[in-house]
Amino acid sequence: MIKKFLKYAAAAMVLATTIQVTPTFANPVTNGQIDATKEQINDFETKIQQLDNRISLAIEKSRELNEEIVIQQDKIEETEAEIVKAETALENHKKVYSERLKSIQLNGDQSVVRYAELLLSSGSVSEFFNRFTAISQFIESDTELLNGLNEKEQALIEAKEQLHTQIDHLKQNQVQLAAEQEQIEKDKQQIETDLAAAEGTLQAQLAQQEAEQQAAEQARQQLEQQQSLVTTTTTNTPAPALSPASATPTAVAANVASSATANAVIANAKQYLGVPYVWGGSTPSGFDCSGFVSYVYRSVGISLPRTSSAQQNVGTRVSLNQLQPGDLVFKGMPAYHVGIYIGGGQYIHAPQTGDVVKIAPFNPSKFSTASRILK
């Protein structure tokens, strides 16, 4: 009995010592807090993708406006050339008109506009009517011609003014578009700052949680060592294992459909892993999300629209729980982000500014629609 009592007393001392040496944290981090921070980071990333999409659309719109301005300027130059031609023709016909008037004058020193004197100088009634008829026909035909030329010139001038008005309107749209893009970039910078702060919080939480788990593991090991000294057998519940920070990417080849086209799409997409995100980018020097998708699909002979919202309307709509490799997955309705599902619960995409083309875990709850392009 005395030996048993001594053993229990020693065990009690060990437990008391363990409690004293185990580090304590004023505010232990819970999994719920970490999950909340991760959700906050996800929300910030979504907002950044939405702003990136708006900037890419603005860039595309600006390109279209520039093209339209060039077209209108070409039309103005053509119209100005037509105006010069019309003015030249009008002046030439005025000269001809003047020469004709002079040719029917009886005397070289008569005024061009003195038709009455010309008529009154007629020697007979028949000569009077002949001169009157000739002058009337001459005046009528040349007046119609001159009026027609004058009307054409005025019409061309009005057309030129309308073209200038259209260009002014297009340029105003450009200014508004630039102002909108500038505001979007400012908003994006603020969100990026908030995102960086949230990511810092997450790293601190994960570090504290790891420290707490390591302290608990050390205390458990110390308890086992001290218990072994008093030959007391205790049952310890192992500390929970640390969750890996991120899942190790698994090979997706086994999950890729047998379709040679799907294999080609995915293989080609992976060639551009690490290419930086660039607003409006559609080449390997830099991609935005829809530019990346359209470029990859073009490599297998499939032409897709330029923007993610337009790509969302192509192909056959499929369930997010029945995806096949090569399907397009979209966020938003209309879409503000797009990627390519590659199988194995993963997709490849150009995420956002400051990031690169990468493979990421696919969570159906974060997406709105999916489309099947490959048959």
Question: Residue 92 is encoded by which pair of tokens?
Answer: 């030439």
Domain ends where: 162, 195, 215?
Answer: 215
**Domain residues for 317?**
253-372
The larger pLDDT score, comparing residue 314 to residue 26, is at 314
The larger pLDDT score, comparing residue 181 to residue 369, is at 369
From CA 267, how far away is CA 276, in angstroms rounded? 18
From CA 374, how far away is CA 316, in angstroms rounded? 9
Closest CA to 170 of 71, 74, 77, 68: 68
Closest CA to 330 of 321, 341, 322: 341
Check whether residue 140 and residue 268 sit in a common domain. Answer: no
Check whether residue 90 and residue 140 sit in a common domain. Answer: yes
Residue 146 pLDDT more than 70?
Answer: no
CATH of the domain at 189: 1.10.287
Task: Look up tokens 């337009």; give the residue.
Answer: 310
Pair 165, 76: CB distance under 8 Å: no
- Number of separate domains in the chain: 2
Instruction: State pLDDT tens for residues 190-231.
Output: 777 777 777 787 787 787 877 777 877 787 787 777 777 655
pLDDT at position 181, please? 74
From CA 271, how far away is CA 300, in angstroms rounded? 14
Does the residue 354 lie in any domain?
Answer: yes
Check whether residue 87 and residue 182 sit in a common domain. Answer: yes
Closest CA to 50 of 374, 365, 339, 335: 335
> What is the gyration radius of the CA atoms in the chain, in angstroms?
42
β-strand pairing of 316-318 with 286-287: unpaired
Check whether residue 279 and residue 173 sit in a common domain. Answer: no
Residue 373, φ and ψ in degrees, nearest 5:
-95, -40
Q: How many CB atoms lie within 10 A of CB 145?
A: 15
Check whether residue 146 and residue 257 sit in a common domain. Answer: no
Domain ends where: 215, 234, 262?
Answer: 215
Check whether residue 70 and residue 154 sit in a common domain. Answer: yes
pLDDT at position 115, please? 56
Question: Residue 336 is encoded by which pair of tokens?
Answer: 């503000």
CATH of the domain at 316: 3.90.1720.10
Residue 143 pLDDT more than 50?
Answer: yes
Instruction: State pLDDT tens for residues 318-337.
Output: 999 999 999 999 999 999 99
Residue 17 pLDDT more than 60?
Answer: no
Domain ends where: 158, 187, 215?
Answer: 215
Does the residue 231 lie in any domain?
Answer: no
pTM, entire model: 0.50
From CA 294, how far away is CA 304, in angstroms rounded? 5
From CA 346, how far away is CA 238, in angstroms rounded? 33
Alpha-carbon torsion, ordered 52, 56, 61, 66, to 10 deg: 120
Does the residue 41 lie in any domain?
Answer: yes
Q: Is 169 a catalytic residue?
A: no
From CA 255, how far away is CA 263, in angstroms rounded? 11
Does the residue 339 lie in any domain?
Answer: yes
**What is the DSSP code string of 283-327?**
ETTEE-HHHHHHHHHHTTT----SSHHHHTTSSEEE-TTS--TT-
Helix 31-103 and helix 125-229, axial crossing angle in degrees, nearest 10? 170
Check whether residue 62 and residue 179 sit in a common domain. Answer: yes
The larger pLDDT score, comparing residue 164 to residue 17, is at 164
Check whether residue 50 and residue 119 sit in a common domain. Answer: yes
> Half-sphere exposure (CA, 13 Å, Cβ side) for 235?
0
The residues that bridge with 134 in the sheet, in sequence order, are none
**Helix or strand holding residue 358 (H, E):** strand 358-361
Helix 289-298 and helix 260-270, axial crossing angle in degrees, nearest 10? 130
Q: What is the DSSP letter of 248?
A: P
Does the residue 14 lie in any domain?
Answer: no
Does the residue 17 lie in any domain?
Answer: no
Check whether residue 172 and residue 297 sit in a common domain. Answer: no
Check whether residue 261 and residue 201 sit in a common domain. Answer: no
Pair 326, 262: CB distance under 8 Å: yes
Does the residue 16 lie in any domain?
Answer: no
Check whether residue 259 and residue 171 sit in a common domain. Answer: no
Q: Is 289 a catalytic residue?
A: yes
Pair 321, 304: CB distance under 8 Å: no
Q: Is 349 a catalytic residue?
A: yes
Does the residue 132 lie in any domain?
Answer: yes
Over range 248-256, report the average pLDDT: 39
Check whether residue 188 and residue 290 sit in a common domain. Answer: no
